[in-house]
A and B are shown apart, each in its own frame.
Chain A
Amino acid sequence: MKTAKRALPFLLLALGAGFLVLGIFGGEVAIVLSRAANICLECIGIG
């Protein structure tokens, strides 16, 4: 039980890194960039 608890942050970090890599290869970076690099009218209360 204690070993599992100690391993959990490592597992979550590895899972996060895995998701990031899959997201990068899946072309999701462009979606985030296109959204973040243009003024988001909804965010500023116009859209």
Chain B
Amino acid sequence: MAKKYKRNKFRNWFQGAWGLVSNGYLAGFVKGHIWQGDSKSVCVPGLNCYSCPGALGACPIGSLQAELAAREVKFPLYVTGFLLAFGALFGRFVCGFLCPFGWVQDLLYKIPSRKIGTFKYDRLLRYLKFVVLAVLVVLLPALVKNAAGVGTPWFCKWVCPSGTLFAGIPLLLANPTLRAVVGFIFSWKMAILILILGLSVFLYRPFCKYLCPLGAAYSLFNKASFYRLKLDENACTHCGICKRACNMGVDPSKTPDDIECIRCGDCVKNCPTKALSAGFFTGKRKIHQGEDGEETQITE
């Protein structure tokens, strides 16, 4: 029987609470329409469809495509600004704590079943999310335009399972007018959603690992964000527990800033020597006192 590792339960509750707060317009789910207030001009950090009936903010990936697809925008400064700010502050902490679709995948993975840790092309497939970001989110919306000079949000239209789950399904359930016009694209997106949700029972966060363009963008900040994982090399015994506890397949004792680390904190929780810590680091030196009373400086 596989060993059970301690999990950060606070994270699940926090993710759920954040999802509720950022999708707090509950009347929208009943009436079948969306919130239209000014807060919709502000991007939320996670992949949270702005057409979700409860959404109070804008999805950064949807907004980025909207800007790139617009005739009048040469470079999407506004949304890039949000991505830079969220990335610099949090890196992929957003994936671990602030993304509602990540939360759904986390919950599905709790269903008892045989789990797939890794497989032959696991690491290679993780680069697919960068292709999705470059091609479906940036290049196609920016370059393929109609006669009026307006592009299409390719990722939203053909892939985004978060949009199908949090926007498509609730809106179609509550709004008969929209229900009357569904066609092939909705069926295609439902198939993607079902595939990803089904896989999530056996494989930890398949969408985040292989397809999410927002995770790809934030992963570039993991080495340079304020929120970081820190390793005290003097305290680390290289026992490998952190690596085995990590559902994302990261070895924090070797690469605490790995682009795949979603900062869930499970490695910190399971480290027997407290060699790992997570938090907002600004490069200030910290003093760690070992069990023998010896002091060790932990620096950048």
Interface residues of A (CB under 8 A from B): 2, 5-6, 8-10, 12-13, 15-24, 26-33, 35-40, 42-47
Chain B contacts with A in 184-236, Cβ cutoff 8 A: 185-190, 221, 224-226
Judging by beta carbons under 8 Å apart, are A9 and B156 in contact? no
Residue B105 at the chain A interface, CB threshold 8 Å? no
A12 to B200 alpha-carbon distance, docked (Å): 33
Residue B146 at the chain A interface, CB threshold 8 Å? no
A6 to B89 alpha-carbon distance, docked (Å): 13
Residue B273 at the chain A interface, CB threshold 8 Å? no
Tally of chain B residues near chain A (CB < 8 A): 66
Judging by beta carbons under 8 Å apart, are B77 and A43 in contact? no
Closest to B158 in A: A42
Judging by beta carbons under 8 Å apart, are A9 and B88 in contact? yes
Distance in angstroms from B177 CB to nearest chain A CB is 10
Residue B270 at the chain A interface, CB threshold 8 Å? no
Q: Which residues of B contact A9 (CB under 8 A)?
A: 88-89, 224-226, 282
- A31-B66, A45-B182 given. 13 additional CB < 8 A pairs? A5-B224, A9-B225, A9-B282, A12-B87, A20-B77, A23-B81, A28-B77, A28-B79, A29-B41, A40-B163, A43-B51, A45-B186, A45-B190
Judging by beta carbons under 8 Å apart, are A12 and B224 in contact? yes
Question: DSSP majority for the A interface?
Answer: helix
Judging by beta carbons under 8 Å apart, are A43 and B168 in contact? yes
Distance in angstroms from B286 CB to nearest chain A CB is 13
Of the listed residues A2, A22, A40, the one surrounded by the most CB atoms of chain B closer than 10 A to its CB is A40
Distance in angstroms from B208 CB to nearest chain A CB is 19
Judging by beta carbons under 8 Å apart, are B181 and A42 in contact? no
Closest to A23 in B: B78
Q: Which residues of B contact A6 (CB under 8 A)?
A: 282-283, 300
- The 0/1 profile, CB within 8 Å of A marked 1, for residues 138-167 of chain B is 000000000000001100110010011001
Distance in angstroms from B52 CB to nearest chain A CB is 9
Judging by beta carbons under 8 Å apart, are A36 and B40 in contact? yes
Of the candidates B57, B79, B168, the one whose C-beta lies within 8 Å of that of A45 is: B168
Judging by beta carbons under 8 Å apart, are A40 and B156 in contact? yes
Judging by beta carbons under 8 Å apart, are A44 and B77 in contact? no
**With A32-B66, A40-B51, A44-B186 in contact, do A19 and B77 touch (Cβ < 8 Å)?**
yes
Closest to A45 in B: B186
- The 0/1 profile, CB within 8 Å of A marked 1, for residues 54-68 of chain B is 010111001100110
Q: Which residues of A contact B63 (CB under 8 A)?
A: 32, 35-36
Of the candidates A2, A10, A37, the one whose C-beta lies within 8 Å of that of B40 is: A37
Distance in angstroms from A19 CB to nearest chain B CB is 3
Judging by beta carbons under 8 Å apart, are A28 and B67 in contact? yes
